[in-house]
Amino acid sequence: MARCCGCSVRCCCWLLLLTLVALAVTATVVFIRYRNGGQVFPLPGEPDPKYAEALAVALQFFQVQKSGKLVNNEIPWRGDSALDDGKEAKLDLSKGMYDAGDHMKFGFTLAFTGTMLSWSVLEYGGAMGAAKQRDAAMDALGWMMDSSSTRTPPTMSYTSSWLDPRFKTPHNAKFSPEHVGDPKADHKCWERPETMSEKRPLTKITTKSPGSDVAAETAAAMAAASLVYKPISGTYSSSLLDHAERLFAFADKHRGSYTRTFPELSAYYNSTTYQNELLWAASWLYHATGNHSYLNYATGKNGKEYGDLGNPRYFSWDDKRAGTEVLLSRVSFFASDGSDVAQDEGLGSYKDTADAVMCILLPESDTAAFRTEGGLLYVAEWNSLQHPVASAFLAAVYSDYMSASGKKELTCSGKSFRAADLRKFAKSQADYVLGDNPMKLSYLVGYGDSYPQRVHHRGASIPADVDTGCNGQEWLKTPKPNPNVATGALVGGPFKNDSFIDDRENVRQNEATTYNSALIVGLLSGLASTSSVAQSLS
């Protein structure tokens, strides 16, 4: 008798029937996936190959940016650097990450990087896992939070790689490091971090030299990270949270902006206000502790005075208001009907403003913000990709809140939009970054066949076996492509007319930043796979 895979003819028929049924089911699922104009939502639990691949690329930039004694170094042209950072103050500040293509370690932007990376893991850790990238994200976060130092200066509020919670913070904490390095001296040099020899002074905020924005952003980073580490190590998580609460109290009591305290730094990262960081930190502390005093801080008098509620804004390292509104809207989405939280008028104002933020992002809304002809949300010429990527991340998060909570529609000036519309916007910005743009260029270095070859990045531009000292200007000015690829770098981005000039000295378009990487990692994680959004981050 004829055989089919060891079965009889009757068995073959059953196998054929089952195969046809499976194909029919698959076709139905694929139809659902592709209807309404394309892949708005990927198959549940299945990573989208494009976004998963891009996520793997983006996460590599954190490896490129590491300072200190490198462990399991994955970047062949990188080596140990900045080993003496903090030595003058008898601290080990060697770890952490360089801010951009230079060798500065700015505490303000690095803390924002930590906050955003933690938020991404909290919301999309499952999607990262499906794409086999959660370990890479956790490695990057851990490098920011850890330090090899064991000494505890008696007046430190936090030390090490900016965010290490293992130091016992006294109640009379006096100061916190803001950054390592002299920006003026650093920007005069063009050299590899492994061979730099100039002085690396430590700038600190204190009770008499306040920096509420820096301290509050670091508190937010620690609070968010405490939630990430809570299921992994309760002790470590508690230590993070303890430091976050102390830093927040320090920031609130000794108010002032760090660029008012150190005006020479305003040329690099000018903080327009510090109040938005206080609201942002209080919101993260509420999620991390469940303590309603933090929610009251954000939704009460402080929210009314500093939140500018009712006026939608864009999310960035300098202005956290839109991020705070989305983060607190999560509470509104998942609050029990009739609960005290659900009835909180201030919380409702945050939710309403978050709705307004979403409305300016939706291209079909009457309040839609400006787009380039190629479809990119355009806010600023310098580092033009920061705002659209940050906005797209918020849109992806908000769409998932809507879907998970059963909210069907978002109303913008009388027009109704769905969660799928927000996700479609988020996809459009990610796709633009990845090459669907008039230049046909991927702005994520290392992804695709065409991406910037002359990224403004010292380490990438100088061969690994060359010691230029401070005077490696020939490598800055050469028209040749970089000898090393800064894989995962998200460059500044195009101009208003969608054009881009791949020139190393074109800093506003061609420099990458670590905080940009945290934003694109969050966005790609949100698009890589669909998974249930937890109703609580704790």
pLDDT in tens, 73-106: 999 999 999 999 988 888 888 999 999 999 999 9
Pick the closest to residue 247 from 177, 180, 306 (CA basis): 177
**Res 20: pLDDT:** 40
Chain mean position to CA 105: 17
Rounded alpha-carbon distances, angstroms, from residue 504 to 61, 102, 105, 193, 495 = 18, 13, 21, 17, 16
Within a 10 A sphere around the Cβ of 146, how many other Cβ atoms? 18
Q: Quick check: 174 pLDDT over 60?
A: no
Dihedrals phi, psi of 106, to nearest 5 degrees: -85, 120
For residue 338, what pLDDT band results from cuts at 50, 70 and 90? Answer: low
Output 33 or 417, whichever has higher pLDDT: 417
Q: Quick check: 153 pLDDT over 70?
A: no
Where would I find the H helices in 171-233? Answer: 183-188, 212-229
Residue 171 known to be catalytic: no
Q: What percent of the chain has pLDDT over 90?
A: 74
Note the residue count of the chain. 538
Output 93 or 166, whichever has higher pLDDT: 93
Domain 45-528 has CATH 1.10.10.10: no
For residue 32, what pLDDT band results from cuts at 50, 70 and 90? Answer: very low
**Res 211: pLDDT:** 95
The mean pLDDT value for 431-439 works out to: 98
**Exposure string (b/e) for 44-75, b if CB count within 10 Å is 16 or more?**
eeebbebbbbbbbbbbbbbbbbbbbebeeeeb
Q: What is the pTM of this model?
A: 0.88
The mean pLDDT value for 206-217 works out to: 94
Strands 415-417 and 105-106: unpaired
**Res 147: pLDDT:** 41
For residue 351, what pLDDT band results from cuts at 50, 70 and 90? Answer: very high
Q: What is the CA angle 414-419-422, rounded to 5? A: 85
**Res 536: pLDDT:** 87
Domain positions in the chain are 45-528
Token pair of 256, please? 């002032």
Arithmetic mean of pLDDT over the chain: 86
Q: Quick check: 169 pLDDT over 70?
A: no
Catalytic residue among 254, 387, 456, 457: 456
The mean pLDDT value for 413-427 works out to: 97
Q: Quick check: 276 pLDDT over 90?
A: yes
Q: Quick check: 477 pLDDT over 80?
A: yes
Weakest mean pLDDT among 1-15, 73-87, 510-524: 1-15
Three-state secondary structure call for residue 511? strand
